[in-house]
């Protein structure tokens, strides 16, 4: 039973090394594990796929660098799908620190797909206000976004000519790292009946599934796993798919740690009880 005593006092750094190994090795060896798209992810993909050409999609960047590995792959996959189907992404930002990430992703995919700024897509940048802004867009988007992210009047861009409020967006896609999605559901969805799709960080995803069940959102992409599913659907595997093997193996390791930790706990507890009984 000495092994359990040793395990109960194991150096945490040993666990970190094991986690690092199970993350690094699959990234190097690239084993192929099946990634099967789930219904909440597929629902978003199918909805976007069936939109008529020229439909406008409002994309809200509500995350920052701390969520980049989870959100950026989905953003890029979604933008590829939009440009492939001749849909028009209109990007806005609710989180200041997310503005450069959204811009980087949009510019990268627009260049890859030969999309033209102001005609096929536009970046309206960050504006403060949250609820006031969300309610305001329901009336007239120009009240908050009179200029784009480079301070150019939005009326000078052909893409914005017929866009005024939620009625002009076929879909609102929120890429969310915090609780901003609740406001989108509450105001854009509840008040203006805007169709909403959400991509949430894995931490927040379980809290949003009930919006999917109640059909307040059309679908849900949960964390890197959801992004990987979207990449598979778009047939363009990227960072999220590359990380899935590491994700799976590290989960197995953590489950083993939990099982081992519990066994050690109970064995040690019973040993101490016996020693106390003597």
Partner 1 sequence: MATTIGIWIAAGLTLFIYSFLYKDNPFYKFAEHLYVGITAGYWLIYTWAYTIQPMLLDPIIKNKEFILIIPAFFGVIMLTRWFPSISWLSRWSIAFTVGIGAGLGVTGSIQGFILPQLKSTILPLTGLNFATFNNLLIIFGVFTTLVYFYFSREHKGLLGHTAKVGMTFIMIAFGASFGYTVMARISLLIGRIYFLMFDWIGMMFGK
Q: Running DSSP on this structure, what letter comes out for residue 34?
A: -
CB 58 within 8 A of CB 90: yes
Token readout for 96 is: 């200041």
Rg over CA atoms, the chain: 23
Residue showing tokens 């909403």: 196
Rounded Cα gap, residues 59 and 90, in angstroms: 6
Nearer to partner 1, 87 or 188 (CB): 188
**Number of residues in contact with partner 1, rule: CB under 8 A?**
50
DSSP state for residue 11 in the 8-state scheme: -
- Contact code string over 19-58 relative to partner 1, x by CB under 8 A: xx--xx--xx------------------------------
Q: Least distance in Å: CB of 154 to partner 1?
A: 14
Residue corresponding to tokens 């659907």: 233
Q: Does 266 bind partner 1 (CB under 8 A)?
A: no
Least distance in angstroms from the C-beta of 49 to partner 1: 26
Nearer to partner 1, 113 or 254 (CB): 254
Q: How far apart are CA 115 and CA 246, in angstroms?
A: 34
Chain residues binding partner 1 by CB under 8 A are: 13, 16, 19-20, 23-24, 27-28, 66, 68-70, 96-97, 99, 125-128, 131, 135, 185-187, 189-191, 201-203, 205-207, 210, 213-216, 222-225, 239, 242-243, 246-247, 250-251, 254
């Amino acid at each position: 039973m000495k092994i359990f005593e040793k395990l109960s006092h194991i150096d945490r750094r040993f666990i970190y090394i094991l986690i690092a190994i199970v993350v690094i090795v699959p990234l190097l060896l690239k084993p192929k594990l099946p990634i099967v798209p789930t219904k909440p992810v597929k629902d978003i993909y199918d909805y976007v796929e069936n939109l008529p050409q020229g439909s406008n999609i409002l994309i809200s960047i509500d995350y920052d660098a701390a969520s980049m590995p989870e959100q950026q792959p989905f953003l890029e996959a979604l933008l590829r799908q939009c440009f492939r189907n001749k849909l028009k992404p209109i990007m806005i930002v609710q989180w200041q620190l997310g503005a450069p990430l959204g811009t980087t992703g949009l510019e990268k995919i627009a260049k890859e797909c030969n999309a033209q700024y102001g005609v096929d897509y536009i970046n309206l940048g960050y504006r403060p206000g949250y609820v006031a802004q969300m309610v305001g867009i329901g009336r007239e988007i120009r009240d908050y976004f009179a200029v784009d992210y480079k301070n150019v009047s939005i009326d000078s861009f052909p893409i914005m000519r017929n866009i005024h409020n939620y009625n002009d967006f076929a879909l609102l896609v929120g890429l969310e790292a915090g609780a901003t999605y609740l406001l989108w559901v509450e105001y854009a969805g509840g008040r203006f009946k805007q169709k909403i799709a959400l991509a949430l960080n894995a931490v927040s995803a379980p809290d949003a599934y009930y919006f999917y069940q109640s059909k307040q959102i059309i679908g849900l992409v949960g964390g890197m796993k959801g992004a990987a599913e979207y990449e598979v659907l778009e047939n363009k595997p990227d960072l999220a798919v590359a990380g899935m093997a590491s994700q799976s193996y590290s989960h197995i390791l953590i489950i083993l740690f939990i099982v081992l930790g519990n066994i050690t706990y109970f064995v040690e507890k019973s040993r101490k009880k016996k020693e106390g009984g003597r």
